[in-house]
Amino acid sequence: MRRLTLAVLMGLMATTAHADVTVYSAGPKALIKKLADGFTKATGTDVNVFQATTGKVMARLEAEASNPVADVVVSASWGTATDFAARGLLLSYDSPNAKNVPDFLKIDGAVAQGVAGLAIAWNPTSGTPKPAEWTDLAKPEYKDLVTLPDAAASGATYTLIEAFVANGRGDDLKAIADNGAIVAGANKAALNPVLQGAKAAVFGAVDYITMAAAAKGETVEVIFPESGTVVAPRPIMILKSSQNQDDAKAFIDYVLSEEGQRHVASVHLMPSRTDIEVDRPLIGDLKLLSNDGAPSRDEVLAQFAETFK
Amino acid sequence: MSRGATTVGAEGSALLKWVSTLSLLVVVAIPCLFIVLQAVFPEIGGGSFSAPFSALYKTLADASLVGLAGNTILLGLGTVVFAVMFAFPLAALRALFRVPGALIWDGLLLIPFMIPPYIAALGWIMTLQPRGYLEQLTGLNLAPVLFSVPGIMIVMGLNTFSVVYFVLSRTFETVGARYADVGRVFGANQWRSFWRITFPLATPGLAASLLLVFAMAIEEYGTPAALGRRIGFEVLVTGIENRVAEWPVDLPGAATLSMVLVVMALAAFMLQRWLLERRDYRIVGGKPQAFEKRPLGLLSVPTVILFGFVSFLATGLPILAILATALSQTISGGLTLSNMGLQNFQELLATGSDGLRALGNSLTLGVSTALLAGVLGAITAYAVVKGRGRFRIVLDALSITPNALPGVVVAVGIILAWNQPWLPITPYNTPMILLLAYCCILLPQPVRYATAALHQLGDNLEAAARVSGAGPLRAFFRITFPLILPSMITAMILVFAVASRELVASLLVAPIGFQTIAVFIWQQFDQGSMGLGMAMAFCAILVTTLIPLALISVLRWLSKDSVASLN
């Protein structure tokens, strides 16, 4: 019986395709699928994809460190790119297609594939007035009706909390917490109660996820507060350990090509190239909060946990 | 009937002993070894042994550890209490009386095994949260009950009580068949004979299933993550998962916390062992059994209501919530007719879709894991119960260890072990690695079931076979194995159900581009397609329930009811 099982599974092993570029990707599956298919069509090179959360991608990279498998990594957290660059894990590559990507979306070894913005997600059928500002969510109308993603689980929300702390707006966070806001896991776990109407608004919702839900017919709106917000660039990088650097470079070129950036826009992310026109607010349209002078990650997370305990 | 009498007269084939030892080494010991190495040497992933113990002290000295460990034990015990509360009355009624529609209830109570716990938790949230399905239908808002520590325990108790129900009802049945009748002949009334004879003799089954529930509860991730996070109730597993799943990842910290969890499970296991060794529980001799169940009489109606109520909570409500979400075009549209449609199912079942491939992959892996873990579990339990020597306790402990290891940590151990650059061939990045991971995670189930069954098997049957000229292997496969087969089939169905929907390990070790049911569902949720994910969950539950039910029906038909415990 065991031998038969083994034989069956050996057969399964034989059918596993060996592709040319191996990409570990966080973020929307639809996007990486379009990019992989488009790249294969354009170059004839196959792409094998491992898709998970940023954390799971990083955990797998860490566990594989003695024998790396991935060529290209796409993450949803810019901090992973600066960390990998500092540890000397990244291959320096300046794609010709990156010349229209603004400088703050590039470092040596990584470039933004696309950018997500942070916003308020609000359910218009919730019976609450439409919020315009972050601080509106501290008003009595929103008592016990606000969720927010855990800053430890969502890199994007972390960036927002960090900016609040850096700009001395810790009291605003406290007021929202005192108004009964609950921390509800990662981004989707914070949005779902708002869709069903259990809650009215998400503080620090990732915009493209909310826009995708709205495009599907969910009654939910994205509101960018005028006092400013933050963006979360999504780095794409080539590992220095890659055995297939030429194809990996070609993949980055494709992602930053006009066609690749259209795929990025199709999942409601902002393209990182400024010369691609899309029907949604872009980085230039948003007022950005500065993160200068923010304390260390541990301190920000400790303050977050203390505020929302 | 002295202590240790179970070993007298049985030999335990040396070959089986070696098969069991070698397999456990490969499947369990090697990943565990790398988890310990990871805890001690933080840089082991990069192949370096630098800075030993630095991370270990940091994690163990962390003040939050006491809280995490305390919450874990609280949750484990609470879940056991609720599981027993749900299972015990049902099992006793089912075993001793003619319950109307008994087979239907058994079928319904099998389904909680098949519902992935994180899906069930989501179903409960969608139903009970403010403006959830319950409030939409009845105006009732039970959110405060759900989002509380007892609420988590009740949901987890409902997810796990079937384990206790099936083991207990079968054991009660076997015991009730002979020994309780003897008690009644001597004048004990029905209750007295149950509490003085049937219940004590059922202790091995009860202890084994309670240990399983406790271990399942402290190892469970989905429910505490979905419900506990909302109220700030963190347990060890969520702490471990946070360290692995949230950047910056802390693999040494996760490995260290897992070791704390393993110590807890081993303590529970030692307790169970101690309980079992105090007495002799052998109840299956060689004599034929005939047992007439008693009619319920006036109690029929309340009994059926009780079965119906518990089945509804454990099976009906989560399935209905899953179905409602799968049929909804949008979540915000709510439960209105205009919002209902079959789009999600059409998209899922379109020919050549990712969904169908994922279903096929998971079913193949589930069946392979059930067969492999089942046979390995039976052999290991046999070597432990009927064998001799000190190695037995090592084998037994090794076989229970993965029960306490969160899937995500097993996954890390497996990557560390099987992605070493010097290995000439490796199952890593092939579906074989998932088979290894599932076998490691699920081996404790068949081992526990087989151990409980073997403890109740007298040695005289095997001795008779040996006297009649059969070798030890032949005696095992012709006499012992068929007698524990009913228990093994239950265990293998459980393994099949869990393996075909395992999430946390699959997410991390799945070969590149390879999808399983749970990974597919998770990816749909991740991109906001809750309805498509729930449609997949519903189809998966349907398929994983129908396959074992069909199997049981075929077996019953083949054996013409001679295998008593299958009904």
Contact A215, A268 (CB under 8 A): yes
Q: What pLDDT, on the 0 to 100 scale, is given for residue B8? A: 37
Per the domain annotation, does B131 fall within a domain?
yes
Query: What are the tens digits of pLDDT across the range B219-272?
Result: 888 899 889 888 889 999 888 888 887 778 888 888 898 888 888 888 887 887
Asked if B535 has any chain A CB less than 8 Å from its own CB, the reply is: no
Q: What pLDDT, on the 0 to 100 scale, is given for residue B567? A: 34
From A155's Cα to the closest Cα of chain B, the distance in A is 8
- Between CA A169 and CA A173, with CA A170 as vertex, the angle to 5 degrees is 100
Most trustworthy range by pLDDT among A260-269, B129-138, B167-176, B183-192: A260-269
From B255's Cα to the closest Cα of chain A, the distance in A is 12
Q: What is the largest CA-CA distance in chain B?
A: 73
- Its domain, for residue B478, covers 14-40+49-337+345-566
Cβ–Cβ of A216/B330 closer than 8 Å? yes
Q: Tell me, what CATH number does A226's domain have?
A: 3.40.190.10
Rounded to two decimals, the ipTM of the complex is 0.80
Q: Say if residue B208's pLDDT is above 80.
A: no
- Its domain, for residue A133, covers 116-230+286-307
Are residues A168 and A301 both part of a single domain? yes
Query: What are the tens digits of pLDDT across the range B284-327?
Result: 665 555 566 778 888 889 999 999 999 999 999 999 999 999 99
Comparing CB atoms, the residue among A5, A50, A219 nearest residue B372 is A5
Total domains, chain B: 1
Chain B residue numbers with beta carbons less than 8 Å from the beta carbon of A155 are: 247
Cβ–Cβ of B415/A48 closer than 8 Å? no
Q: What pLDDT, on the 0 to 100 scale, is given for residue B566? A: 39
Among the listed residues B381, B386, B375, B373, the one whose alpha carbon sits nearest the alpha carbon of residue B13: B386
Q: Say if residue A75's pLDDT is above 90.
A: yes
Asked if A276 has any chain B CB less than 8 Å from its own CB, the reply is: no
Spell out the long-range contacts of A169-173 with Cβ–Cβ below 8 A and sequence spacing 24 or more.
Answer: A170/A303, A170/A307, A172/A134, A172/A135, A172/A138, A173/A304, A173/A307, A173/A308
Are residues A207 and A59 both part of a single domain? no
Best probe of the B interface among A33, A47, A67, A269, by most B CBs < 10 A, is: A67
Q: What pLDDT, on the 0 to 100 scale, is given for residue B408? A: 82
Comparing CB atoms, the residue among B251, B330, B375 nearest residue A1 is B375
Element (H, E) at A223: strand A221-223
Q: A231-238 and A72-74 as β-strands: parallel, antiparallel, unpaired?
A: antiparallel
Q: What pLDDT, on the 0 to 100 scale, is given for residue B513? A: 83
Cβ–Cβ of A196/B334 closer than 8 Å? yes
A45 — pLDDT class (breaks 50, 70, 90): very high
Query: Quick one: closest CA in B to A83, which residue?
Result: B248
List residues bridging with A22 in a β-sheet.
Answer: A48
Average model confidence (pLDDT) across chain A: 90
- Residue B539: phi, psi to the nearest 5? -60, -40
Asked if A214 has any chain B CB less than 8 Å from its own CB, the reply is: no
Asked if B226 has any chain A CB less than 8 Å from its own CB, the reply is: yes
Are residues A223 and A236 both part of a single domain? no
Are residues A97 and A245 both part of a single domain? yes
Asked if A193 has any chain B CB less than 8 Å from its own CB, the reply is: yes
Q: What pLDDT, on the 0 to 100 scale, is given for residue B290? A: 56
Comparing CB atoms, the residue among B131, B415, B512 nearest residue A196 is B131
Query: Quick one: closest CA in B to A89, which residue?
Result: B46
Q: Tell me, what CATH number does B556's domain have?
A: 1.10.3720.10
Are residues A103 and A237 both part of a single domain? yes
The HSE-up count of residue A47 (CA atoms within 13 Å, CB side) is: 28
Contact B488, B170 (CB under 8 A): no
Chain B residue numbers with beta carbons less than 8 Å from the beta carbon of A66 are: 45-47, 419-421
Are residues A91 and A131 both part of a single domain? no
Q: Got the DSSP string for B533-566?
A: HHHHHHHHHHHHHHHHHHHHHHHHHHHTT-SGGG
Per the domain annotation, does B9 fall within a domain?
no
Are residues A202 and A254 both part of a single domain? no
Q: Say if residue A10's pLDDT is above 90.
A: no
Asked if A183 has any chain B CB less than 8 Å from its own CB, the reply is: yes
Comparing CB atoms, the residue among B245, B334, B529 nearest residue A56 is B245
Total domains, chain A: 2
